């Protein structure tokens, strides 16, 4: 009968020295037992050595697994003609600790089902007992696998000289070349084929040996065997140079070098594990004219259980660091709002692609304040190098002073020193460029740094230093390329250029119709597959993302320049206990390299004679 979930279930199992059997059936309201399905199988060689109790338990486990779709989630009655199993597998008594490990594993398997185990005499257990004594033989079908194995072995046999000899004899071009080499002329009276020109130029170096055509010591491979020869040559996944070196020692045909290059470039296994491409020329950021015009932010840590929000001004290199208890978008916005209340709103903000920076909440905050948000290419931190480099410097300083003071005190001490030290790029301290003065330290008044001199020779030096190792690369829309993959094991995956989003960044599309943004250092020239003939409509794609050179116009908010005579120097301290002070004459600001007039460290004082009381 068919299975009915509303009727009680019963599973009868039995075992014999030859096999196991099981019958699942329904108990009708009249008490009649109606079978649903039967199952049996032959014991394996190892199972025939089981003890009788283990064979009986094996029959129960076989029935449970065979009719799992009927029994799981249903309460059923389990029938066996082996009385000890009612105690071992019974729900009220645990399995003895000295039982075999096999029995313990089977008991654990049965614990996932809801059942009531009962004993039935063998004379009344004929349905399952008959199946166990007449089991179905187990058939093993391995012929197909063996045939496939032998077939693969035949395909992978190497090319021999006999095959080359037969293929050379039937090839129309090589047969003529062989006649020219052996007899000095061809038997064919037709005009010379263009394919013979390459061989004719080397006819003094050609020879025939055992029916094979040779150029020097290299065997000339007929066209039908060239593809298989390339597969055999690239079986070890060698590079182009190694493949050419091996080929130059054994065989040749016209255009062999080009064929080797195409074969190596078309191997997706090799392309997927290639190294990163050669560095692109350095593209420095435009130097902002005003402080706090463009800031670079990033998260650092965890360091000693804390995260740090770092913000660096691109004009003055002034750093701001906040210890964060949370790195969510809400906490980041709250800290940035506090920075903006001190220094004002920047025109541009550069960050990486952290989840808090690309969230919709953060984007709405940027738009609400009119800030142009620029993100670096994914997995390319050098785009946000100003913040990344400061993070390294800060971590080194905090780790060096570990154990001396609290993390907050060490951070404040480091920031005071960093802000008051001339920067390698600007040749001026961040404090002077940000506030127009040096910060007072424990050393009191130091020699003032040179007036604001903003040069970009350090950036130009970096570009020149990197130029010998850099290689300029450009791609066009529709061009197949290999993009760096950071989501799976494959290191490089084939993609297609959609559009160029900046001087050194592109938008690509993968085979899974995913759109990625990649730096040119994360792209390699791809190889178009000959089977891929589909066309792509580029008009449907639109460029996305921002790059340092694709920025919205920025209004000129720089203050009007003052005459040289009206620009004050570093303010001097006044003695509050003395009489009024007359400030020193202002001196004009002098650029680096010019002679600087000597300036008094203290202001001039009006010294007056004392007024004494004449009594």
Res 546: pLDDT: 41
The answer as to whether 509 is a domain residue is: yes
Res 593: pLDDT: 40
Please indicate, yes or no, whether residues 393 and 495 belong to a single structural domain of this protein.
no
Mean pLDDT of 358-378: 92
Q: Is the model more confident about 118 or about 468?
A: 118
Please indicate, yes or no, whether residues 336 and 236 belong to a single structural domain of this protein.
no
Give the integer Cα–Cα distance in Å for 176 and 112.
79
Please indicate, yes or no, whether residues 241 and 301 belong to a single structural domain of this protein.
no
Please indicate, yes or no, whether residues 205 and 118 belong to a single structural domain of this protein.
no
Please indicate, yes or no, whether residues 333 and 417 belong to a single structural domain of this protein.
yes
Res 503: pLDDT: 87
Res 442: pLDDT: 78
pLDDT of residue 541 exceeding 80: no
The answer as to whether 123 is a domain residue is: yes
Res 299: pLDDT: 92
Give the integer Cα–Cα distance in Å for 75 and 115.
5
Q: Where are the beta strands (DSSP E) in 135-215?
A: 206-209, 212-215
Q: Which domain holds residue 409?
A: 294-438
pLDDT of residue 532 exceeding 70: no
Mean pLDDT of 568-586: 40
pLDDT digits (tens, 9 = 90+) for 62-89: 999 999 999 998 899 999 988 888 888 8
Strand order in the sheet with 114-119: 33-42, 19-27, 9-15, 75-80, 114-119
The answer as to whether 614 is a domain residue is: no
Please indicate, yes or no, whether residues 368 and 416 belong to a single structural domain of this protein.
yes
Please indicate, yes or no, whether residues 302 and 406 belong to a single structural domain of this protein.
yes
pLDDT digits (tens, 9 = 90+) for 281-337: 877 888 888 999 999 999 988 888 889 999 999 999 999 999 998 899 999 999 999
The answer as to whether 64 is a domain residue is: yes
Q: Of 505, 525, 545, which marks where a domain is finished?
A: 525
Note the maximum CA span of the chain.
146
The answer as to whether 538 is a domain residue is: no
Res 529: pLDDT: 57
66-70, 220-224, 538-542: least confident range: 538-542
pLDDT of residue 484 exceeding 60: yes
Mean pLDDT of 163-189: 81
Q: Of 416, 438, 460, which marks where a domain is finished?
A: 438
pLDDT digits (tens, 9 = 90+) for 392-411: 999 998 888 887 888 899 99
CA distance to 58, 121, 126, per residue, from 79 (Å)? 14, 10, 12
Please indicate, yes or no, whether residues 261 and 302 belong to a single structural domain of this protein.
no
Give the integer Cα–Cα distance in Å for 211 and 57.
72
CA distance to 9, 11, 27, 36, 337, per residue, from 5 (Å)? 8, 14, 11, 12, 65
175-184, 345-354, 507-516: least confident range: 175-184
Please tell me the total count of domains within the chain: 4
Reduce the DSSP state of residue 65 to 3 states and report it.
helix
Mean pLDDT of 96-113: 82
pLDDT of residue 551 exceeding 90: no
Contacts of 120 (CB under 8 A, 6+ apart): 12, 79, 80, 81
pLDDT of residue 131 exceeding 60: yes
Res 516: pLDDT: 93
Mean pLDDT of 346-368: 93
The CATH number given to whatever domain includes residue 258 is 1.10.340.70
pLDDT digits (tens, 9 = 90+) for 229-278: 998 888 888 888 999 999 998 999 999 999 999 988 888 888 888 887 87
Res 517: pLDDT: 94
Other CB atoms within 10 Å distance of the CB of residue 513: 6
Please indicate, yes or no, whether residues 250 and 307 belong to a single structural domain of this protein.
no
pLDDT of residue 150 exceeding 50: yes
The answer as to whether 368 is a domain residue is: yes
pLDDT band of 178, cuts 50, 70, 90: confident
pLDDT band of 148, cuts 50, 70, 90: low
Contacts of 378 (CB under 8 A, 6+ apart): 353, 486, 516, 517, 518
Length of the chain: 615
Helix, strand and coil in the chain, % to nearest 5: 35, 20, 45
pLDDT of residue 449 exceeding 80: no
Res 578: pLDDT: 39
Give the integer Cα–Cα distance in Å for 195 and 200.
9
Give one DSSP letter per residue of 98-115, joined into a string. Answer: TS-HHHHHHHHHHTTSEE
Please indicate, yes or no, whether residues 299 and 427 belong to a single structural domain of this protein.
yes
Please indicate, yes or no, whether residues 217 and 123 belong to a single structural domain of this protein.
no
Whether the CB-CB separation of 12 and 119 falls below 8 Å is answered with no
318-332, 398-412, 474-488, 500-514: least confident range: 398-412
Please indicate, yes or no, whether residues 125 and 234 belong to a single structural domain of this protein.
no
Other CB atoms within 10 Å distance of the CB of residue 244: 17
The answer as to whether 458 is a domain residue is: no
The answer as to whether 227 is a domain residue is: yes
Q: Of 491, 525, 559, which marks where a domain is finished?
A: 525
Res 483: pLDDT: 93
Res 201: pLDDT: 82
Contacts of 594 (CB under 8 A, 6+ apart): none
Give the rounded percent of residues in the chain with a pLDDT score beyond 70: 78
Res 204: pLDDT: 83
* Strand-strand pairing, 492-502 and 480-484: antiparallel
pTM of the model: 0.45
The CATH number given to whatever domain includes residue 123 is 3.30.420.10
Res 437: pLDDT: 87
The CATH number given to whatever domain includes residue 489 is 2.30.30
3-state SS record for 381-427: HHHHHHHHHHHHHHHHHHHHCCCCCCHHHHHHHHHHHHHCCCCCCCC
pLDDT digits (tens, 9 = 90+) for 13-27: 999 888 999 999 999
């Amino acid at each position: 009968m068919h299975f009915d979930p509303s009727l009680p279930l019963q599973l009868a199992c039995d075992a014999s020295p030859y096999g196991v059997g099981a019958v699942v059936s329904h108990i009708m309201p009249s008490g009649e037992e109606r079978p649903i399905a039967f199952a049996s199988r032959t014991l394996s060689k190892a199972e025939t050595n089981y003890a009788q109790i283990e064979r009986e338990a094996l029959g129960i486990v076989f029935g449970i697994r065979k009719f799992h779709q009927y029994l799981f989630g249903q309460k059923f009655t389990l029938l066996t003609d082996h009385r000890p199993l009612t105690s071992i597998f019974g729900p009220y008594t645990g399995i003895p600790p000295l039982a075999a490990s096999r029995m313990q594993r089977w008991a654990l398997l049965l614990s996932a089902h809801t059942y009531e185990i009962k004993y039935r005499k063998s004379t009344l257990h004929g349905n399952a007992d008959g199946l166990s004594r007449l089991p179905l033989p187990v058939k093993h079908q391995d012929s197909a696998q063996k045939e496939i194995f032998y077939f693969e072995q035949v395909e992978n046999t190497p090319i021999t000289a006999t095959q080359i000899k037969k293929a050379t004899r039937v090839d129309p071009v090589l047969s003529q070349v062989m006649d020219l080499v052996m007899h000095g002329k061809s038997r064919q009276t037709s005009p010379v084929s263009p394919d013979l020109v390459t061989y004719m130029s080397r006819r003094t170096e050609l020879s025939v040996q055992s029916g094979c055509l040779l150029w020097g010591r290299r065997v000339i491979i007929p066209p039908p065997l060239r593809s298989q020869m390339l597969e055999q040559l690239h079986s070890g996944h060698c590079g182009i140079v190694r493949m050419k070196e091996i080929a130059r020692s054994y065989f040749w045909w016209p255009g062999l070098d080009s064929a080797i290059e195409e074969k190596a470039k078309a191997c997706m296994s090799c392309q997927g594990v290639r190294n990163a491409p050669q560095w692109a020329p350095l593209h420095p950021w435009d130097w902002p004219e005003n402080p706090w015009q463009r800031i670079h932010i990033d998260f650092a840590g965890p360091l000693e259980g804390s995260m740090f929000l770092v913000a660096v001004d691109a004009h003055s290199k002034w750093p701001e660091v906040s210890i964060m208890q949370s790195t969510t978008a809400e906490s980041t916005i709250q800290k940035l709002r506090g920075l903006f209340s001190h220094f004002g709103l920047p025109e541009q903000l550069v960050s990486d692609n952290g989840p808090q920076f690309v969230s919709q909440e953060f984007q709405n905050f940027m738009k609400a304040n009119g800030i142009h948000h620029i993100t670096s290419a994914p997995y390319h931190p050098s785009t946000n190098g100003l913040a990344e480099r400061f993070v390294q410097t800060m971590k080194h300083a905090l780790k060096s002073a570990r154990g001396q003071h609290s993390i907050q005190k060490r951070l404040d001490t480091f920031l005071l020193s960093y802000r008051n030290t001339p920067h390698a790029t600007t040749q001026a301290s961040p404090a002077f460029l940000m506030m127009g003065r040096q910060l007072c330290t424990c050393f009191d008044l130091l020699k003032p740094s040179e007036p604001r001199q903003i040069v970009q020779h350090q950036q130009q030096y970096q570009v020149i230093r990197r130029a010998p190792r850099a290689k300029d690369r450009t791609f066009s829309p529709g061009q197949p390329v290999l993009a760096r993959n950071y989501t799976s094991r494959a290191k490089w995956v084939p993609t297609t250029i959609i559009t160029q989003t900046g001087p050194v960044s592109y938008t690509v599309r993968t085979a899974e119709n995913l759109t990625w943004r990649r730096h040119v250092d994360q792209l390699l020239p791809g190889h178009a597959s000959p089977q891929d003939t589909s066309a792509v409509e580029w008009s449907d794609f639109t460029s996305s993302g921002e790059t340092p050179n694709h920025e919205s116009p920025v209004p000129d908010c720089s203050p009007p320049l003052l005459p040289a005579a009206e620009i004050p120097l570093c303010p001097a301290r006044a003695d509050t206990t003395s009489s009024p002070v007359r400030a020193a004459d202002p001196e004009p600001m002098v650029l680096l390299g010019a002679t600087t007039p000597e300036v008094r460290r203290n202001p001039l004082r009006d010294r007056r004679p004392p007024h004494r009381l004449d009594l």
